């Protein structure tokens, strides 16, 4: 090693490692756009299928393109019987993210197109990769809904082709069609979580894809990274915390106690946003609406109080609610069990993961950084019998 010590970017904070046209975050002003379109506009006017088309193909689809895309996605929802059987044998108390990971990993060997494109040129086979992409995206909700029904000792509910992605997921989970508000809220949640620059799970997907591994393997890497509480797992934890606080009156003492013990308040802070997360702002509006409709104002008011105290104490450091703070509440008010929150995030983010892999593969470069070695240089090997 030379005498000059290279800079080390632990956690890659603020480091640009690729170029992308998929999404842009303005962390200072709290703005998010997908290919130029504001997240506010997309949440209000678009659908999950449409924004997925936007992320994968680079433009909003016309009527014919959208209806073909939706049809193709809807026809790929069922999963092979062998994968259903694998899911049915997994422990019911396993974390659903582990089920999702196993489910997606199990789909790979059954894909009819994978063997023919496997090899050094896999990244150049866009048409085949798009077919695989649609299968993964369409089947992820089915894996989750089937496992949930099995866990509840209920018969699985097969997917329907006439419902959109969001409504079909709720239908498979509940065994009944969601009403318009429920379906819209799920769709909005999927739109909001679909992409977010080079977050940890997207980066994990790209590390795997950059070796010219396949899309299934890349998505399994993304699911694995998203499981952690510093990333996708925060929405579960944020809701559990609100339940523990119980009422707005307890919020101040609870938050102060946690901060004094140097513990983190889940659902707050973000590596990029140093202002209010725009996705949290959109979901907060829906959370308020749902709270009134489902008579769960106490939960929403507790959240408001936690937010108020946190901004008072940490706002100057750029700590504000992130999307996970309000998504957990919205899912809970919709009647979705807590352990399914992070899988819903994954079901949505798969759209962005795939979009980024397809984009990165257009000019693939192996991702292989270095670590600065700080260990000893010339240790002498000691036979085991001489070691203390
Ligand atoms: N609660 C209390 N303090 C916090 C929080 C929080 N949620 N987040 C950051 N801080 C404090 C840190 O203690 C640190 O304080 P210090 O400067 O006195 O040491 C300072 O703010 C900066 O925090 P870092 O961890 O260095 O910031 P980083 O950008 O690495 O962290 C992260 C971002 C990991 C998301 C962090 O804010 C966190 O742990 N939040 C809670 C988990 C969470 O909600 N994750 C979801 C993220 S959004 C998503 O994945 C969809």
> CATH top-level class for 234-333?
mainly alpha
Q: Cα(98)–Cα(156) distance, rounded to whole angstroms?
A: 19
Q: For the chain, which residues make up each domain, given as ranges?
A: 23-230+341-361, 234-333
What does the pLDDT read at residue 2?
A: 58
Token pair 């209000």 in the structure block, residue: 44
pLDDT for res 4: 87
Residues of the chain with pLDDT under 70: 1-2
Q: What is the pLDDT of residue 1?
A: 52
Nearest CA to ligand 1 atom 26: 271
- CA proximity to 235, closest of 327, 310, 149: 327
pLDDT at 236 (0 to 100): 87
Q: Which of 270, 277, 332, 356 is catalytic?
A: 270
Amino acid 233: pLDDT: 83
Look up 324 and say whether it is catalytic. Answer: yes
36 burial level (CB within 10 Å; 0-12, 13-18, 19+)? exposed
Instruction: Indicate which residue's Cα is closest to atom 41 of ligand 1.
Output: 266
Dist. CA 133–CA 322, nearest whole Å? 28
List all residues 6 or more positions away from 373 whose beta carbon is below 8 Å from its beta carbon. 1
Count CB-CB contacts under 10 A for residue 342. Answer: 28
Domain 234-333 in the same topology as domain 23-230+341-361: no
Is residue 195 part of the annotated active site? The answer reads no
Q: Which residues pair with 26 in a beta bridge?
A: 31
Tell me which CATH code domain 23-230+341-361 carries. Answer: 1.10.580.10
Q: In this predicted model, what pLDDT tens digit does every residue of 219-269 receive, in sequence order? A: 999 999 999 988 888 888 999 999 999 999 999 999 999 999 999 999 999
């Amino acid at each position: 090693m030379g005498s000059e010590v290279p800079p080390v970017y632990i956690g890659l904070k603020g480091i640009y490692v690729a170029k992308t046209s998929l999404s842009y975050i303005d962390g200072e002003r709290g703005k998010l756009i997908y290919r130029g379109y504001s997240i506010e506009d997309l949440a209000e006017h678009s659908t999950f299928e449409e924004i997925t088309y936007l992320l994968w193909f680079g433009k909003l689809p016309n009527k014919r393109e959208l209806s073909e895309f939706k049809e193709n996605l809807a026809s790929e929802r069922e999963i092979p019987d062998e994968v259903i059987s694998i899911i049915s044998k997994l422990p019911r108390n396993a974390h659903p993210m582990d089920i999702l990971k196993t489910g997606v990993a199990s789909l790979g060997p059954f894909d009819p197109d994978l063997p023919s494109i496997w090899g050094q040129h896999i990244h150049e086979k866009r048409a085949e990769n798009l077919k695989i992409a649609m299968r993964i995206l369409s089947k992820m909700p089915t894996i989750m809904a089937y496992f949930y029904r099995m866990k509840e000792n209920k018969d699985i509910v097969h997917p329907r082709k006439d419902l959109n992605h969001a409504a079909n997921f709720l239908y498979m989970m509940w065994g009944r069609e969601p009403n318009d508000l429920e379906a819209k809220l799920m769709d909005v949640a999927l739109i909001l979580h679909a992409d977010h620059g080079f977050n940890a799970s997207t980066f994990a997907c790209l590390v795997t894809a950059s070796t010219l591994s396949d899309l299934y393997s890349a998505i399994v890497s993304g699911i694995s990274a998203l499981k952690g509480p510093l990333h996708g797992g925060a929405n579960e934890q944020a809701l559990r915390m609100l339940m523990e606080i119980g009422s707005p009156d307890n919020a101040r003492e609870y938050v102060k106690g946690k901060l004094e013990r140097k513990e983190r308040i889940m659902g707050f802070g973000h590596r990029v946003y140093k202002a209010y997360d725009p996705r949290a702002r959109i979901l907060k509006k829906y959370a308020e609406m749902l709270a009134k409709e489902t008579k769960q104002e106490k939960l929403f008011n507790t959240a408001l109080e936690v937010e108020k105290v946190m901004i008072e104490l940490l706002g100057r450091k750029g700590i504000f609610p992130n999307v996970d703070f309000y998504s957990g509440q919205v899912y809970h008010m919709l009647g979705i069990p807590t352990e399914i929150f992070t899988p819903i995030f994954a079901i949505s983010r798969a759209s962005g993961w795939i979009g980024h892999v397809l984009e990165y593969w257009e000019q693939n470069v192996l991702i292989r950084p270095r670590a600065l070695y700080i260990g000893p240089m010339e240790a002498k090997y000691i036979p085991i019998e001489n070691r203390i």
